[in-house]
Copies of this chain bind each other. A is one copy, B any other.
């Protein structure tokens, strides 16, 4: 597995990551780590390779955009000294453009999204062993849908930014689409954004496969 023994893995993002994690730091007993893919990643690592002693921390915050991540990056990422960092962000950057079209001050457009990702990757340079960018997910199969089309733009930006900084890039949206060939999105999320445990398992598997985890 790419993650070395004794590593600290910090996973940051929005409500898909957060899922009721404890404040200020999402780790500890019971559901302190939240109920998202982060909890699943932690449980899979602990149960399948306990000898690796990977420490997993959830730093998601519901409603966050990439703009919000930049603002809390020092306290919520750098101060915690992670070895590995995953960033799964962007759906709120897009979503507000469609569910609150008349409130432009809460929209984050592609240029700013790219700048925010770049800024974060600059900040971790030399401080984190490996950064992973994970695409936001919108469980919409109609690629003509405007919001789905916007997602493609943001994913392309994320991919390009990852390449520029030699970050790992995980296309979670693609992983979802393979599953959605066999079931309707309504079976995972009524709003096509906030997944049930099946959806979180898809995200966890995408990440673990990318880092060479053996079941």
Contact = CB atoms under 8 A, between A and B. Distances in A.
Interface string A28-71: 11100001000110111011101101110000000000000000
A115 interface: no
A198 interface: yes
Interface in A174-215: 179, 181-184, 186-187, 190-191, 193, 196-202, 205, 215
A: interface residue count bin: 35 or more
B142 A201 contact: no
Contacts of A205: 47-48, 215
Nearest to A54: B102
Q: How many copies are assembled? A: 8
A47 B202 contact: yes
Contact of A43 (B46, B182, B186, B197): B197
Contact of A215 (B55, B102, B182, B215): B215
Interface of A: 8, 27-30, 35, 39-40, 42-44, 46-48, 50-51, 53-55, 95, 98-103, 141-142, 144-147, 179, 181-184, 186-187, 190-191, 193, 196-202, 205, 215
Given A142-B145, A145-B141, A190-B190, A198 B102 contact: no
